[in-house]
Structure 1
Amino acid sequence: MRTMNKRKETIKTAEHDTECIRQAEIMPLNSWEWLHITIEVTAKTAFLFILPQYNISVPTADSETVHYHYGPKDLVTILFYIFITIILHAVVQEYILDKISKRLHLSKVKHSKFNESGQLVVFHFTSVIWCFYVVVTEGYLTNPRSLWEDYPHVHLPFQVKFFYLCQLAYWLHALPELYFQKVRKEEIPRQLQYICLYLVHIAGAYLLNLSRLGLILLLLQYSTEFLFHTARLFYFADENNEKLFSAWAAVFGVTRLFILTLAVLAIGFGLARMENQAFDPEKGNFNTLFCRLCVLLLVCAAQAWLMWRFIHSQLRHWREYWNEQSAKRRVPATPRLPARLIKRESGYHENGVVKAENGTSPRTKKLKSP
């Protein structure tokens, strides 16, 4: 009987162990199934944040290529990259700019300008390389007619659309950074001016399907801004180093001329000769006389405003320089006083008494009595 009971107990324990093993095998399978389901569900929403939306397959001579157009879902993608840009901004500030500024021992005013220029140098350098790569690979430099031919440019390549989304995300992230960086109240209006200026031009080129022209203009503008902020960084490191400012001043005027020329050539002449001149927002066509005049007026007004600020700042710097030079000339030179000749009696002094050369004291002259 005892042996039978032992056999039953061993059979029960074996069955229990096998059930535990089966459950242990089933649990990972169930967890993987749940994980697979959640990944499938969250992947759709994750792609909405990470990747550009509204993709379309466009047939070509060899095969099909994927292009994109814009829509309301782009706001979600821009929001995601705003948070990414804020994180990258904090990394550059903490690990690069703060370490350099501690060595320079700058004042509060120069410290805030140093941080501003340091962030913009990193951004403009990255944007110039990225924009130049996009322009070269898409063939916009080798074929200037592509800036206005086949308008409207509704279907964008992946790299073009992603570039515009990242640009909008960066300049939108600059608005809350004014609070995070504790920018002085005197500097906020100036920074808001150029932030809004960039947002209007980039969003206008993106929404009006002038993305090709916008890329060329951004490449020119970012190259000039990179040179300017680099010159500021070198000036903060050594105040005597102003050679880069002279180079920037020469490049600045040439850049304004190129931007105005390209805008007038592409919009005023190129789009004006296109056959398809009708206002059709559904097809993305804004090639009308009124729209062209508004775009040209905006570009010309922005360039004129930048040029006026540049001339005003240059005149102010020259005035300060000449005032310093004239102040130095007005200061009279202190005349040198001639050295007084001190007559010394012959011999040498010893205990306050003049001794002759042979050691005897000289005879005093007798005064005749009157």
Structure 2
Amino acid sequence: MKSDPEAAAHSRGQLVSKNERLIAMRLSKRGGGSSRSIKQLFLDNQAAGIVFNLVALLYLTQLLIPRARPFTRPFWSLSHYNPTTGKYAVGSNDIYYVFYYLVLFTGLRDGLMNGVLGPLGRRWGISKAKDVERFAEQTWMICYYCLFWPLGVYIWYSSPYFLNMAELWTDWPSREITGTMKFYFLAQLAFWIQQVYVINIEKQRKDYWQMLSHHVVTIGLVVASYAYHFTRVGNLILIIMDIVDIVFPLAKCAKYLGFNTLCDILFGLFVVVWLATRHVFFLMVIRSVYFDVPAIVPKTCFQGGMNSLQGPLPQPSGWSWLLEPFKDPEGLICFNQSIFNGFFSYLVALQGIMMIWSYAILKVVVKVLSGQNAEDIRSDDEEEEQVSELEEEEEGDEESGLLEEEAEVDDGIVKAWERRNRVLPKRGGSSSGLHLPGHSDRKEFLNRIGCEKQID
């Protein structure tokens, strides 16, 4: 039988070994090495400090250096204003405005998740750090869409194309839009570029490629409809898509808070909203593209601003003219059969992808209605499960007082590292109705939307 000093030394050795294994597995799981250090530097310092300093520097430059104002003003003021019409054109200066909101959204996301939403989740009874993080992510998405979806609906409701599909295409090319519409599009573009940044700078998840594809598709839709003056149909498509991104995160948050019945109700609402928006309203848009665009939009070219619009003009040779609408408010803009085919094919392909996702959703619904249980398949890999087990063991050791002995045999680095990283790990990604994982992995899809099992 071991003496007391030997038993204590043995216990301390087990604690040190366990912490070493935990740290090694975490570093291996998250990439390790210099690339991990660079990412951690961004994560530890991203929003609150850096964003505040950048915005403060920008405003101070604007206030104190008059000569710099022509260069700083486009960051927070809409560019290409026409005082004659009271509207705004599309031009290259818009990129500064997008960059400003990209930085601002990065700061708001990080500040709200770590300073407000995460602590709120813990206060409401969420105990696991991973669930607190996911709850904060989903609540941030709800906050964003609860602002921008009603704004999009307001633009649609106050427009001539409200409940009139043919009006989506009249007066093309209307080279100027209202300030509200311009802000709506540029802020949406900044948000989705920021989402690409998030999923690349933070921990990469198993549905990384689905999420990246969704973000790239959304960015392409916003940029193309904005530059080619199809903002009306772009506004309508965003309204159709964005409503799901309120209902689905609400279901997830209900699960994290332990409201399983509410989660089931919200999931049922999500299925109804998904099918209605993706396969009724969106198909109405596709039908309008097929029938209304050829009859209303002229297949020709125009040049100049609203006060000096010239056309119809012949289409030039080559391909460089395709980029002019993105950079020159008065540059050449054309619409022809090739552009129509590309636009229509894009929407049809998008509908095809959503049909695959809808098939997976309906299989879950049928399974639930038949009384079967969804599989509890974790979205993280086996290695992360092992780390979770080690963390649970460590918490048990802490409760029994053994961690006090650990302080005697290490230099405090392990304990400090654990204390800094256990509070609220910063990882990326978002959940969106358009990038629901599982069209290629049914089990992971079931786990992501199942309300009765743990959502990881």
Residue 112 of structure 1 contacts residue 183 of structure 1 at CA under 8 Å; is this kept in 2?
no
Superposed displacement of residue 142, structure 1 = 5.7
Residue 165 of structure 2 contacts residue 285 of structure 2 at CA under 8 Å; is this kept in 1?
no
TM-score (norm 1): 0.69
Alignment of 1:139-154 (within 5 A): 139-141=160-162, 143-154=164-175
Q: How many angstroms apart in 2 are the aligned matches of 1:36 and 1:159?
A: 24
1:41 aligns with 2:64: no
Q: Which residue of 2 aligns with 1:287?
A: 335
Q: How many angstroms apart in 1 are the aligned matches of 2:144 and 2:364?
A: 29
The match for 1:250 among 272, 281, 293 is: 272
1:200 aligns with 2:220: yes
The match for 1:240 among 261, 264, 279 is: 261
SS, match of residue 65 in structure 1: coil
Superposed displacement of residue 80, structure 1 = 1.3
1:308 aligns with 2:327: no
Compared with structure 1, are the counterparts of its residues 231 and 326 closer, same or farther at alpha carbon in structure 2 (3 Å cutoff)?
Answer: closer
Compared with structure 1, are the counterparts of its residues 307 and 195 closer, same or farther at alpha carbon in structure 2 (3 Å cutoff)?
Answer: same
Compared with structure 1, are the counterparts of its residues 290 and 37 closer, same or farther at alpha carbon in structure 2 (3 Å cutoff)?
Answer: closer
Q: How many angstroms apart in 2 are the aligned matches of 1:303 and 1:109?
A: 34
The match for 2:285 among 253, 262, 268 is: 262
Q: Which residue of 2 aligns with 1:84?
A: 104
Residue 118 of structure 2 contacts residue 132 of structure 2 at CA under 8 Å; is this kept in 1?
no
SS, match of residue 304 in structure 1: helix
Q: How many angstroms apart in 2 are the aligned matches of 1:271 and 1:326?
A: 45
Alignment of 1:168-187 (within 5 A): 168-179=189-200, 182-187=202-207
Superposed displacement of residue 301, structure 1 = 1.1
Q: Which residue of 2 aligns with 1:74?
A: 94
Q: How many angstroms apart in 2 are the aligned matches of 1:95 and 1:226?
A: 22
Compared with structure 1, are the counterparts of its residues 249 and 317 closer, same or farther at alpha carbon in structure 2 (3 Å cutoff)?
Answer: closer
Q: Which residue of 2 aligns with 1:221?
A: 241
TM-score (norm 2): 0.57
Unaligned runs of 5+ in 1: 1-34, 58-63, 328-370
SS, match of residue 236 in structure 2: helix
Superposed displacement of residue 39, structure 1 = 4.1
Residue 126 of structure 2 contacts residue 256 of structure 2 at CA under 8 Å; is this kept in 1?
no
Q: Which residue of 2 aligns with 1:16?
A: none
The aligned length equals 285
Residue 253 of structure 1 contacts residue 307 of structure 1 at CA under 8 Å; is this kept in 2?
no
Q: How many angstroms apart in 2 are the aligned matches of 1:317 and 1:146?
A: 37
Q: What is the alpha-carbon root mean square deviation over aligned residues? A: 2.9
SS, match of residue 246 in structure 2: helix
Q: How many angstroms apart in 2 are the aligned matches of 1:212 and 1:36?
A: 34
SS, match of residue 138 in structure 1: coil
Superposed displacement of residue 272, structure 1 = 0.6
Superposed displacement of residue 113, structure 1 = 3.6
Superposed displacement of residue 167, structure 1 = 0.6
Compared with structure 1, are the counterparts of its residues 129 and 326 closer, same or farther at alpha carbon in structure 2 (3 Å cutoff)?
Answer: closer
Q: How many angstroms apart in 1 are the aligned matches of 2:374 and 2:252?
A: 26
Residue 205 of structure 1 contacts residue 214 of structure 1 at CA under 8 Å; is this kept in 2?
yes
Compared with structure 1, are the counterparts of its residues 118 and 187 closer, same or farther at alpha carbon in structure 2 (3 Å cutoff)?
Answer: farther
Moved more, 238-247 or 208-217: 238-247
Residue 113 of structure 2 contacts residue 136 of structure 2 at CA under 8 Å; is this kept in 1?
yes
Tell me the amino acid that sits aligned with residue 115 of structure 2: Y
The match for 1:210 among 230, 233, 237 is: 230
Superposed displacement of residue 239, structure 1 = 2.7
The match for 1:130 among 151, 155, 172 is: 151
1 or 2 for the larger relative contact order (CA 8 Å, sep ≥6)? Answer: 2
Q: Which residue of 2 aligns with 1:96?
A: 116
Q: Which residue of 1 aligns with 2:77?
A: 51
Q: How many angstroms apart in 2 are the aligned matches of 1:249 and 1:259?
A: 15
Moved more, 128-137 or 278-287: 278-287
Indicate the percent of aligned positions where both proteins have the same amino acid: 15
The superposition leaves residues 311-347 of structure 1 with CA deviations (integer Å, 9 ceiling, x where unpaired) of: 21442464477584699xxxxxxxxxxxxxxxxxxxx
Q: Which residue of 1 aligns with 2:300?
A: 278
Residue 148 of structure 1 contacts residue 270 of structure 1 at CA under 8 Å; is this kept in 2?
yes
SS, match of residue 93 in structure 1: helix
Q: How many angstroms apart in 2 are the aligned matches of 1:325 and 1:42?
A: 63
Superposed displacement of residue 285, structure 1 = 3.8
The match for 1:65 among 85, 91, 94 is: 85
Tell me the amino acid that sits aligned with residue 126 of structure 1: L
Moved more, 98-107 or 129-138: 98-107
Compared with structure 1, are the counterparts of its residues 249 and 286 closer, same or farther at alpha carbon in structure 2 (3 Å cutoff)?
Answer: farther
Q: How many angstroms apart in 1 are the aligned matches of 2:290 and 2:191?
A: 30
Q: How many angstroms apart in 2 are the aligned matches of 1:105 and 1:37?
A: 45
Q: How many angstroms apart in 1 are the aligned matches of 2:232 and 2:80?
A: 19
Q: How many angstroms apart in 2 are the aligned matches of 1:313 and 1:219?
A: 21
Moved more, 267-276 or 106-115: 106-115
Residue 85 of structure 1 contacts residue 170 of structure 1 at CA under 8 Å; is this kept in 2?
yes
SS, match of residue 209 in structure 1: coil
Q: How many angstroms apart in 2 are the aligned matches of 1:248 and 1:36?
A: 46
Alignment of 1:329-348 (within 5 A): none
SS, match of residue 85 in structure 2: strand
Tell me the amino acid that sits aligned with residue 311 of structure 1: Y
Superposed displacement of residue 253, structure 1 = 1.0
Compared with structure 1, are the counterparts of its residues 323 and 249 closer, same or farther at alpha carbon in structure 2 (3 Å cutoff)?
Answer: closer
Residue 277 of structure 1 contacts residue 288 of structure 1 at CA under 8 Å; is this kept in 2?
yes
